Amino acid sequence: MRVVVTRPEREAQRWVRDLSAQGVEALALPLIQIRPVSIPQDWIRGVQQGGRRIGVMFVSANAADCFFLADPCLVDLFGSTAIDGPRVWATGPGTAKALLRAGVLPEKIDVPPPGATQFDSEALWQIVHSQIRAGDCVLIVRGTDAVDGLDSGTGTGRDWFARQIAALGAKVEFVVAYQRCVPDFTARERDLARAAANDQSVWLFSSAQAVQNLRRAFPELNWSRGRALATHARIAASARDAGFGVVWESRPTLSDVLAALKSRDEL
């Protein structure tokens, strides 16, 4: 069984190493390119002044990486365990690790527990909703999707999270820290994609955007013989909509992905 890892380049290479170490043939075919975007300095100064923000939600590890890349001094917001400082909310363990790398103290981070059914906005909400009161402000650090230079503005999980905050009478602010783009594929990568559409490779999808980018880059391919392992129900739905003949789901941790691959291989 060969696994095609579709995460952005840095994450894809890490997953290839981890899967290979477990005896799984894996290769990287990033379907999303991450580009940090400039965050206005006047906005950064406003965040550093604090205000009524009681929490900062990071939608992904890329959001954390690019947010602090914009100005390393932003980490000073979370360098104290003072009770009145903002909490830092992560949708899953990968995002939490990125926050720790940036210098955020672990005492500041709220994240779904390792045994959570899923790592997403809904799971995070169960952990943090009791912290929010009417009149509070929550900052959501997100990415944006660029299609022909336009921002699609979509984000099912984060938008759901924002609606829950608003329903409690609190305010939501968004800041875009990065842009998700369709990569410029090499000839080798295009050949790989065409082969993997029909050779029983397993496409490992951790983002619905990756599925959409695959369809956009290869509109001529028929995915009825393709196999996809998705790390969330919404991603699985996108793979089915793309026409993948076999789609199954797994939690996004390495151990769960390995178990899901093994279960399918034994069928």
Q: Name 203's Cβ contacts closer than 8 Å, sequence gap at least 6.
A: 4, 6, 196, 214, 226, 227, 228, 229, 239, 244
Q: What is the pLDDT of residues 80-90, one digit of tens each?
A: 655 567 899 99
Statement to judge: residues 116 and 219 lie in one domain: no
User: What is the reported pLDDT for 249?
Assistant: 96
Q: What is the pLDDT of residues 128-142, one digit of tens each?
A: 999 999 999 999 999
- The phi and psi torsions of 110 (rounded to 5 degrees) equal -110, 130
Statement to judge: residues 166 and 220 lie in one domain: no
Q: Name 18's Cβ contacts closer than 8 Å, sequence gap at least 6.
A: 254
Statement to judge: residues 45 and 81 lie in one domain: yes
In the chain, which residue ranges form alpha helices assigned H by DSSP? 9-21, 41-48, 61-70, 93-102, 121-128, 156-167, 187-196, 208-217, 233-242, 254-265
Dist CA 39 CA 56 (whole Å): 16
Dist CA 266 CA 167 (whole Å): 46
Domain stops at, among 147, 181, 215? 181
Question: Considering its fold, how many domains does the chain have in total?
Answer: 2
Q: pLDDT under 50 in the chain at which residues?
A: 148-154, 267
Statement to judge: residues 170 and 197 lie in one domain: no
CATH code for the domain of 214? 3.40.50.10090
Domain stops at, among 128, 150, 181? 181
Q: What is the pLDDT of residues 174-197, one digit of tens each?
A: 999 999 999 999 999 999 999 999
- The phi and psi torsions of 220 (rounded to 5 degrees) equal -85, -15
Segments forming the whole domain that contains residue 191: 2-32+184-265
Dist CA 96 CA 104 (whole Å): 9
Statement to judge: residues 170 and 62 lie in one domain: yes
Statement to judge: residues 20 and 57 lie in one domain: no
Statement to judge: residues 6 and 40 lie in one domain: no
Token pair 């965050």 is at which residue?
39
Statement to judge: residues 207 and 113 lie in one domain: no
